[in-house]
Structure 1
Amino acid sequence: MMKIYMAQVKRTCFKYVVLPLLFMFCIVWNSNTATEPFENYIQEIPHSNLGFGMNAIPGGDFIMGSPKNETGHMEDESPERKVHIDAFWMGTHEVTWDLFEMFLDKDYEKAISTKPLPDNVDGLSRPSTPYLDMTFGMGKENKPAIAMTQYGAIQFCHWLYEKTGVFYRLPTEAEWEYAARAGSSERYFFGEDSSRLEDYAWFGENSGGTTHEVGKKKPNPWGLYDILGNAMEWTYDQYEPYEATQGVILNPTKHPEKLYPQVLRGGHYESVDVELRVAKRFISDPVWKQLDPQIPKSKWWFPEAPFVGMRLVRPLKAPSPEEIDQYYNKQPISDY
């Protein structure tokens, strides 16, 4: 009898004590390890009717740079190196004035918001009011925001973080090239034939000397529109020549240690065809500020760079709060 009784006690204990505890453990474990599905999504701007698309870019390896026999090759594109990039999201389009103007003009942001701005957003540092038409007569509606400094681009990302709670940043140079190639090892993501650029990009031959609405050309295979042409795009990296390496480099980043030069990619609406090659590197130049009459010169704007824009990235693995703060406030970026 005692054995039967003890067996019943064990069964009862397992059913009413152990199983519920296991169930609760599974819930807690899943809640701590569950991640957002890695797929394309639309990021809505809270309390507004605005949003923007983000495309899932799978991780992988690629050869960064270009061979010396590539048409248009520049010396700073070699030696080629093998790079591994972790998965991330990238903006479907370049950041447009529709979005950037909310950050630029707090009164405009308040006017179109359905709720008062929270303190963390209301108290953010904003760009100085430009003394020029920073569209340079090219218009704003659904067109890429242009002429911001790298500092201004990063602070736009900071504003987005405070608005959405999601960490957005500029792509590294390696992330940009990896995403632009979309698996290709040729001059352009669509091959070697530059005559096909008309289908994918606004550049010197078809732009009429102006930016155009985003998304009007064909995207690359990973769904990124205007990754070549229209507006040249900021990366986060300090410019330096490539060095010979062994093995695979993991997520390379050259953190800025000085204000100039930084790397931009993609070419723009006045570029010639060889400047739209996915390996082509551009660098920022303080001469882009020489028309600025302010003393000190604005840390927000490049009045002689109407061809400079930006595209967003979101890493699959979110950084820590300390890393996020360091990114948005890193010296010397805040010393413009």
Structure 2
Amino acid sequence: MKLLILPLVYLLGLAPGFLSAAEVDFIKDVAPILETNCVSCHSGDEPAGDYLLTTKEDAFESGSGGAILPESPEDSMFYTMTVLPRTDEQLMPPLRSGGPLSKSETATLKTWIAEGAKWPQDMELKARAKEGPRFATPDDFELVKNIHAKIVAQAQKEQGNHKNYNNAIPVTEVEYEMIAIPGGKFVMGSPQTEELRRPEEGPQTQVSVDPFWMGKCEVTWDEYEPFMITQVDRRKDGSRTDFDTQAHTIVDAVSQPTPPYTEMSFGMGQHGYPAISMTQHAANKYCQWLSSQTGHFYRLPTEAEWEYACRAGTTTAYSFGDNPEKLFDYAWFYDNANEKYQKVGLKKPNPWGLHDMHGNVMEWCADQYLPDYFKKIQNSSKNPYIKPQSLYPRSVRGGGWDDDPDRIRSAARRGSDAAWKQQDPQLPKSIWYHTDAQQLGFRIVRPAKIPSPEEMYFYWNSAKDVY
């Protein structure tokens, strides 16, 4: 006689299909999803969409309400917005913040809501960094070596004189102009007698720099925005998710910004206006992107190059003299800028033909910012450069549209600050944007002497691995 072993469900008196899996555990299953993907944007004094996600009360009642409807996931925006197409602007979390969620994560949220959206009353969520897989990026040293080879070949073709030139960005045909700056010696820093000088501006030191070209104007949105905004899915490091060595060029391999989380001109104007609010890493990568197209090596200026070009042979507080009343002819600043930046090139240039070296927007330099800069360069005053060792502070020169006359003198210096990312909702903070630095832009230089691939790599990546 055969022994019939009945399934457990029958022994328990349950019909098939009524034995449900264990309930979703909020603390173990749901909270980690929210804390790594959602809470950084939906917390603090200005949460995205006015929707807070730190406590049960906030999650169920803040914003426009109705985000979570227990037992009705298909009617709960908390779930439905996570399963939108990846290109939908309302997708949560958006692509720029690491979205979309995985299928298992959205399934967990759906089940949790279907089971009643249970949330311990005293459970408070806190944002935590998202740890994801590390991907190989095509923007590596091998890429830089290929760009270097293109630059060397281009130099051999040109063999031109050191003179001013106009050029167009190949992929956009947007034009820009470079001014030839002769090499030479100058006294860097401000004298102790200069009105409103600061201690970090000296002691004055004689410095020499090699010849280079510098952008006639600050980099504009016309030049920068096609680099900043692309219709390509990118990882947080800016590399293309679809990169193919057979189908894409060295230009495609350069890391470019992920989509911005707000309109980055902040309504101040775009065509002909200076690009703003980029991190130093973003400015460096723009230089690499431009170099990969043109066959010319571009980077940010060193502090010494910047001040040398700004002074243009002068020794006064400004490139036009010591009288701040003349600033109205040469600069946009607090007294005349109407609380916003202005189009580049409208004010008089300095003696070497450079516009807006004083005011309009502050400009990134390549150096680590050190208050005792002049002490550090005493024994290396030829092409001095303080190689960055940490992300903050980095050097910024020129002053901006919201500054007083003392901050836009030729010798005025300042350092970058992490507070420039204060309103950035991403965690970790974006490597591309300084939302709270609306006075900050940059201009480019091209040294007459082509550096080694190793030097190029450092210039273009000095702010990449120190976050």
Shift in Å, 1:90: 0.2
Counterpart mapping for 1:136-151 below 5 A:
136-151=266-281
| Secondary structure at the counterpart of residue 263 of structure 1 | strand
Match of 1:36 in 2: 160
* Structure 2 residue 276 is matched with structure 1 residue 152: no
Match of 2:442 in 1: 310
Contact residue 189 and residue 205 of structure 2 kept, 8 A:
yes
CA distance in 2, matches of 1:158, 1:278: 27
- CA deviation digits over 1:47-85, x for unaligned, max 9? 533120000001111111111111011001111100001
CA distance in 2, matches of 1:295, 1:335: 15
Match of 1:319 in 2: 451
When residues 295 and 178 of structure 1 are mapped into structure 2, their CA distance, relative to the original with a 3 A threshold, is: same
TM-score norm. by structure 1 comes to 0.84
| Secondary structure at the counterpart of residue 89 of structure 1 | strand
81-90 or 121-130: bigger deviation: 121-130
* Structure 2 residue 316 is matched with structure 1 residue 179: no
When residues 119 and 211 of structure 1 are mapped into structure 2, their CA distance, relative to the original with a 3 A threshold, is: same
Name the aligned partner's letter for residue 222 of structure 1.
Answer: W
Match of 1:333 in 2: 464
When residues 46 and 32 of structure 1 are mapped into structure 2, their CA distance, relative to the original with a 3 A threshold, is: closer
When residues 325 and 187 of structure 1 are mapped into structure 2, their CA distance, relative to the original with a 3 A threshold, is: same
When residues 118 and 245 of structure 1 are mapped into structure 2, their CA distance, relative to the original with a 3 A threshold, is: closer
* Structure 2 residue 212 is matched with structure 1 residue 84: no
CA distance in 2, matches of 1:263, 1:155: 17
Which residue, 42, 49, 57 being the options, matches 2:173? 49
- CA deviation digits over 1:102-128, x for unaligned, max 9? 1112339xxxxxxxx952122322112
CA distance in 2, matches of 1:106, 1:334: 23
Counterpart mapping for 1:200-211 below 5 A:
200-211=330-341
CA distance in 1, matches of 2:184, 2:203: 20
| Secondary structure at the counterpart of residue 268 of structure 2 | coil
Name the aligned partner's letter for residue 254 of structure 2.
Answer: L
CA distance in 2, matches of 1:296, 1:164: 33
Specify every segment of 5 or more residues in structure 1 that has no aligned partner in the other structure, as ranges.
Answer: 1-30, 109-116
Counterpart mapping for 1:180-195 below 5 A:
180-195=310-325
Match of 1:106 in 2: 230
* Structure 2 residue 204 is matched with structure 1 residue 74: no
TM-score norm. by structure 2 comes to 0.61
Name the aligned partner's letter for residue 385 of structure 2.
Answer: T
Which residue, 382, 400, 404 being the options, matches 1:250? 382
When residues 245 and 159 of structure 1 are mapped into structure 2, their CA distance, relative to the original with a 3 A threshold, is: closer
Name the aligned partner's letter for residue 426 of structure 2.
Answer: Q
| Secondary structure at the counterpart of residue 258 of structure 1 | coil
- CA deviation digits over 1:146-196, x for unaligned, max 9? 000000100000110111121100000000000000001110011111100
Higher Rg of the two aligned structures: 2
When residues 301 and 32 of structure 1 are mapped into structure 2, their CA distance, relative to the original with a 3 A threshold, is: closer
| Secondary structure at the counterpart of residue 107 of structure 1 | coil
CA distance in 1, matches of 2:220, 2:171: 18
Contact residue 366 and residue 459 of structure 2 kept, 8 A:
no
Shift in Å, 1:244: 7.6
- Indicate the RMSD between aligned Cα atoms, in angstroms: 2.0
Contact residue 81 and residue 244 of structure 1 kept, 8 A:
no
Contact residue 281 and residue 461 of structure 2 kept, 8 A:
no
212-221 or 317-326: bigger deviation: 317-326
Shift in Å, 1:36: 2.0
Counterpart mapping for 1:285-300 below 5 A:
285-300=417-432
Specify every segment of 5 or more residues in structure 2 that has no aligned partner in the other structure, as ranges.
Answer: 1-154, 233-246
When residues 33 and 257 of structure 1 are mapped into structure 2, their CA distance, relative to the original with a 3 A threshold, is: same
Contact residue 397 and residue 414 of structure 2 kept, 8 A:
yes
Shift in Å, 1:300: 0.5
The structure with higher relative contact order (CA 8 Å, sep 6+) is 1
User: Number of matched residues?
Assistant: 297
| Secondary structure at the counterpart of residue 285 of structure 2 | helix
Shift in Å, 1:321: 2.7
Shift in Å, 1:203: 0.4
Name the aligned partner's letter for residue 315 of structure 1.
Answer: P
Which residue, 401, 415, 433 being the options, matches 1:301? 433
CA distance in 2, matches of 1:244, 1:287: 26
CA distance in 2, matches of 1:83, 1:257: 23
CA distance in 2, matches of 1:137, 1:163: 30
CA distance in 2, matches of 1:32, 1:311: 26
When residues 32 and 135 of structure 1 are mapped into structure 2, their CA distance, relative to the original with a 3 A threshold, is: closer
When residues 50 and 245 of structure 1 are mapped into structure 2, their CA distance, relative to the original with a 3 A threshold, is: closer
Which residue, 235, 258, 266 being the options, matches 2:365? 235
When residues 334 and 95 of structure 1 are mapped into structure 2, their CA distance, relative to the original with a 3 A threshold, is: farther
CA distance in 2, matches of 1:202, 1:299: 29
Shift in Å, 1:327: 2.3
* Structure 2 residue 227 is matched with structure 1 residue 96: no
